[in-house]
Structure 1
């Protein structure tokens, strides 16, 4: 597998991005604010026209944003919309994308942060990838989404923020 930066046509990754954040107007808030990366099979060719990657063949993707300096004086990078194609989930792609993000951010940042719903699916995944709970944004999903967000049969209310020191 290889991970490549996505410099243009980010909207073409919409289907993947909506797996991680199911309300498009929320994705649009950060879609062009950070760096986007996509994972591809090692043998996946680039298109000939402009050497661009083909979004519908991506195994997964993520956006990494700069969140400035926090109250502790630490420089924060945040992974947003980490998504893996359902066919390829549980095969190490999400973990590989997070490791890539950590290595990529380590030169400029002190902390890599992720935010997720308090779900039995996502929180343990991030903890297994070396992230620890940092703080909670109460009622985030209720106040910011136009419909209930349900994961694993649980309606998400609070956003759990997790951090990993770099």
Structure 2
């Protein structure tokens, strides 16, 4: 079930699973908004977004390992898209960024109507203090996807 994100009781394990830089996460949680998915009083999913002048950006989407593959990430995205579509004023699109080798996330985002608009070479090398590996592969490039409202 969806609940508003409580900034005083953040699901840090989930947030840091999607983005291991705690300072970056704290900055966009402070500036943004979001919600969690709970089952039996356990937070098993989270989504955080920021509202900008002409766009929304989904900053963090994470589902607990034990609950992946059950459609929770899709439900989080559907809820965000519906909610942001209702809130849109000047905002004409939703952005989401992920690693170029993050195949499950890329597949889900494309399934939900997001299309790749750019890639930033060596983003994760240049912007994170420690190397990030996904399934033993060094994460280098960032993909930006967008969905029109």
TM value normalised by structure 2: 0.89
Cross-structure match for 1:80: 59
**Any stretches of 5+ residues in structure 2 without a counterpart?**
none
Distance in 2 (alpha carbons) for counterparts of 1:151 and 1:66: 29
By how many angstroms is 1:110 displaced?
2.0
Distance in 1 (alpha carbons) for counterparts of 2:80 and 2:43: 17
Alpha carbon RMSD of aligned pairs, Å?
Answer: 1.5
The ranges of structure 1 where at least 4 consecutive aligned residues each deviate by more than 2 angstroms after the TM superposition are: none
Counterpart of 2:53 in 1: which secondary structure? strand
By how many angstroms is 1:20 displaced?
0.5
The verdict on how the C-alpha distance between 1:122 and 1:8 changes in structure 2, with shifts beyond 3 A counting, is closer
Distance in 1 (alpha carbons) for counterparts of 2:78 and 2:94: 10
Distance in 1 (alpha carbons) for counterparts of 2:96 and 2:24: 15
Counterpart of 1:162 in 2: which secondary structure? strand
Q: Within 5 Å, give how 1:74-153 maps onto structure 2.
A: 76-107=55-86, 108=88, 109-119=91-101, 120-153=103-136
Contact kept, 8 Å, 1:121 with 1:152, in 2: the verdict is no
Counterpart of 1:68 in 2: which secondary structure? coil
Report whether the alignment pairs 1:68 with 2:53: yes
Counterpart of 1:112 in 2: which secondary structure? strand
By how many angstroms is 1:127 displaced?
1.1
Which structure has more helix as a fraction of its residues?
Answer: 2
Once the two structures are superposed, residues 16-61 of structure 1 have per-residue CA deviations (whole angstroms, 9 ceiling, x without a partner) of 10110112122122111111200112xx36xxxxxxxxxxx11100
- How many matched pairs? 145
By how many angstroms is 1:8 displaced?
3.1
The verdict on how the C-alpha distance between 1:16 and 1:162 changes in structure 2, with shifts beyond 3 A counting, is same
Distance in 2 (alpha carbons) for counterparts of 1:98 and 1:60: 11
The structure whose Rg is larger is: 1
Once the two structures are superposed, residues 121-143 of structure 1 have per-residue CA deviations (whole angstroms, 9 ceiling, x without a partner) of 32122112221101122221111
Distance in 2 (alpha carbons) for counterparts of 1:158 and 1:67: 24
